[in-house]
Structure 1
Amino acid sequence: MTRNGFTLVELMVALIIFALLSAAGAMLLSGSARVQEGVKDKLSDTAALQRTSTIIAADFAQALPRPHRDAAGRTLPALSAAGGTIDLVRAGWDNEDNAARPSIQRVEYRVVDGALERVAWPLVDGAAPLPAQRLLGPVAGLRLRFRGPDGAWRDRWDPVQPQQLPRAIEMTIDAKQPLRMVFLVGSGRG
């Protein structure tokens, strides 16, 4: 007796093997999609941290020993920090469109609604600020330390003269994972 086809048992075994291979392939594809999404999120977080540290480093490196005035006309020191905010005047503000404004700029870093923001003013003394730029989130707080002219680190910046700047600033951003960065101050001006 010659056989011209497969038996029912052989077909069932082949279907079971095919089903197992299909299920394994689907799980592998699903797992790789999850990993890809996780990597994408991590890369996005890393890019945001890199952008933030670059912006802050540029502002601190270009810091000027120039006191300025707030909207009420009160004189503020060249660099002031209180309650997790830091305010300073920086040089090097590009004026590509030849707007009627100076090349120096007042900037402030603060935490608002769980996000680290950078606020800039179009004029150094007494102007209303431009819209805040959201740099990083979620952020619970901002801690600052200052390296004085004597080389000692301190938690508060109380300069003897209003135009005095610290040598360096240590900024700790309280986020998912605390981020500690140290920046030189005023190193970008000749």
Structure 2
Amino acid sequence: MTRNGFTLVELMVALIIFGLLSAAGVMLLSGSARVQEGVKAKLSDTAALRRTSAILSADLAQALPRPHRDRAGNALPAFHASNGAFELVRSGWDNEDGAPRPSIQRVEYRVADGVLERVAWPLVDGASPMPAQRLLGPASVLRLRFRGADGAWRDRWDPVQPQDLPLAVEIAVDMKPPLRMIFLVGAGRG
């Protein structure tokens, strides 16, 4: 007697094998999607870090030995640091739209609401700040060290003259992973 077709056992074995292959395919695709999301998040973090480093480097390299005033009219030194924040006056503020404003700019770096922020002012003396630019987060504390003219590193910047700038600034940001960067100050002045 000739038999055409498959037995029930053969069909069941084939269905089980097909089911296992399908489950493995679904697991492979979901794992690939998770890895892709992780890579995307890491690339985004890396891009934010590079952007932050470039902005900090540009601001610090173009620092000017120009004292400035706060909104109340109080005189501040050219480079002012306190409570884990620092501010300075920098040159090189592009004016592509030809707005009536100076080519120098006052900027401040601080940690607020768990994010490293850059705050800029439209005018160097006495103006209200523009909205903060969120750079990097989550971050909890900004720790600073300053290299003086004598080459020694200090935890505080207490200039002898109001126009004195540190030679370099070490910025440590408490985040995961911890971040530590060192920048030359005023290197773009020539």
Partners of 1:31 and 1:98 lie apart in 2 by 52
Q: Deviations over 1:1-29 (max 9, x none)?
A: 11111111111111111001001111111
Partners of 1:187 and 1:174 lie apart in 2 by 26
* Equivalent residue runs for 1:103-182 within 5 Å: 103-182=103-182
Partners of 2:25 and 2:132 lie apart in 1 by 48
Q: Secondary structure of 1:111's match?
A: strand
Deviation at 1:158, TM superposition (A): 0.4
Q: Which residue number in structure 1 is paired with residue 32 of structure 2?
A: 32
The reply on whether 1:62 has 2:62 as its aligned counterpart is yes
What is the percent sequence identity of the aligned residues? Answer: 79
Partners of 1:184 and 1:57 lie apart in 2 by 8
Partners of 2:111 and 2:9 lie apart in 1 by 69
Q: What letter corresponds to residue 149 of structure 2 in structure 1?
A: P
Deviation at 1:176, TM superposition (A): 1.7
> Number of aligned pairs?
190
Partners of 1:12 and 1:82 lie apart in 2 by 74
Q: Which residue number in structure 1 is paired with residue 41 of structure 2?
A: 41
The normalised TM-score by structure 1 is 0.98
Q: Deviations over 1:139-164 (max 9, x none)?
A: 10100000001110000000111101
Q: Deviations over 1:72-121 (max 9, x none)?
A: 11110000100011010000000111111100000000111111110000
Runs of 4+ off more than 6 Å: none
Q: Secondary structure of 1:157's match?
A: coil
Partners of 2:146 and 2:50 lie apart in 1 by 22
Partners of 1:6 and 1:114 lie apart in 2 by 66
Deviation at 1:52, TM superposition (A): 0.7
Structure 2 unaligned runs (5+)?
Answer: none
Deviation at 1:128, TM superposition (A): 0.8
Structure 1 unaligned runs (5+)?
Answer: none
The normalised TM-score by structure 2 is 0.98
Deviation at 1:136, TM superposition (A): 1.1
Partners of 2:30 and 2:131 lie apart in 1 by 42
Q: Which residue number in structure 1 is paired with residue 90 of structure 2?
A: 90
Q: Which residue number in structure 1 is paired with residue 19 of structure 2?
A: 19
Q: Which residue number in structure 2 is paired with residue 53 of structure 1?
A: 53
Partners of 1:131 and 1:7 lie apart in 2 by 75
Deviation at 1:183, TM superposition (A): 0.3
Q: Which residue number in structure 2 is paired with residue 185 of structure 1?
A: 185
Q: Secondary structure of 1:188's match?
A: helix
Partners of 2:189 and 2:7 lie apart in 1 by 86
